[in-house]
Amino acid sequence: MSEERLIVSVSGVRGKIGTTLTAEVAFEFGAAFGTYLGAGRKVALGRDSRPSGSMIQNAVVAGLLSCGVDVVSLGIVTTPGVALMTRLLEADGGIIITASHNPHPYNGIKFLQPSGVALRAADAAKLKSLWESKKFATQQGLDVAVETVNNRTHPMHIDAVCAVTDVTGISSRRYKVVLDSINGAGCVVSPMLLSKLGCEVVHINGEPNGQFAHTPEPIEENLTDLCNAVRKHKADVGFAQDPDADRLVVVDENGKFVGEEYTLAMVVAFVLQKRKGDVAVNLSTSRMVDDLAGEAGVQIFRSPTGEANVVELMEKTGCIFGGEGNGGVIDPRVVPVRDSLVGMAAILQYMSDTGKTVSQLIAEIPAYHLMKTKLPCSPEAAAKVTELTREEFAGDDGAKFNDEDGLRIDFADRWLSVRGSNTEPIMRIFAEAPTAAAAAELVARVKTIADRVVGG
């Protein structure tokens, strides 16, 4: 199985710099998006702090300009920041140059609708077809477009978050916060927001140079320095972002990693205390949110993985809030994408309103054991593992199968999810149950199948 494959999906384009993702490929996708939009349109474009970002951005911009599409360059900004500015600038589309939580060899290109949401599946497929055809609508002479610069993303983003936040209430608490921005796109705007909320900020990995201080995915094994810093500085909370700052993970006042699923659960608990309305999440999000919704008398709707799918479901069902269990919260009043700044403000206000610590708030949320595993795997092998998993569990009592997003199997008190990733050459196996042993047993049954398929 080779990993040397450009990944093109509803989540955009991701590849390894210099091999599958080159300046030529980036130019072609810029030209494809320009052809998709049409000459005379406008795109807002930003990037995260990866060293390869400038090269990829310049190539994408060249492709857009060659097809007569004007570009407003936003600089190094967060993914939710690009989404917000795409809407505020009334652009016809947006682009963020990022590979999110993928490690250094990778970069990517994510395409946005005018609303700031990622392209729908049908539009992403059309864009891919244009790229494959290489039939780009390039312009001649004075018909090529122009690039301008806009440096207002950070203050506009902060204003949007503060407009839905009790700034005075949080400020009165004078919280001490340790922030790990992993030298990514959140380095500048995040401490600005926290300072406006009256927080004392201890910022680690706070230079937006793309030199990631640890493996970028914000999971427990990568955040030991943050946990230690919270204890050292006797902070009230620790926050960790991923490189494009759309995901948020929390460390409690004792320096304990509380799990990425708890970000969304805490914010859902806070939101449902303030407002009455349904919530949308993806199919691999913890049952904690179902219990919280049940207590509040509202519904949880579930979509396939991918924030565009969650947002589409939110719009369809009229949900007031949404998110994904990977640390992504979506408040459409700010911007209809995952936003770590929204998450930080909401958690701080939850603490402020209740006078409780993070650990006390966590203790109030119904607890499950969610085990997340990923394995190197080609899309073809992932499909085979999924097929064999269905056969493996077909005889289990009470098993209910859902094929919307890989395969999800629900039982009375536990569930299992098996799917190929849209952003990496891996497959993900999630299992949640009342006990860690029960979750591990579900995962082990799938791993046995995967070892047989991939190894064979």
The answer to whether the beta carbons of residues 179 and 190 sit under 8 Å apart is: yes
| Residue 26 CB neighbour total at 10 angstroms | 27
Of 11, 66, 100, 181, the catalytic one is: 100
Measuring CA to CA, how many Å separate 397 from each of 105, 214, 283, 392, 403?
45, 43, 21, 12, 18
Q: How many CB atoms lie within 10 A of CB 20?
A: 17
Query: What DSSP letter does each residue of 85-136 carry, written as one string?
Result: HHHHTT-SEEEEE--TT--TTEEEEEEE-TTSPBPPHHHHHHHHHHHHHT--
Name, in order, each residue with C-beta under 8 angstroms of 206's C-beta and a sequence gap of 6 or more.
179, 181, 183, 187, 191
| Dist CA 119 CA 435 (whole Å) | 38
CA–CA gap between residue 334 and residue 118 (Å, rounded): 16
Tell me whether residue 73 is one of the annotated catalytic residues: no
Tokens of 232: 């050292």
> Rounded to an integer, what distance in angstroms lies between the CA atom of residue 185 and that of residue 172?
28
From CA 292, how far away is CA 435, in angstroms rounded? 19
- Residue numbers annotated as active site: 100
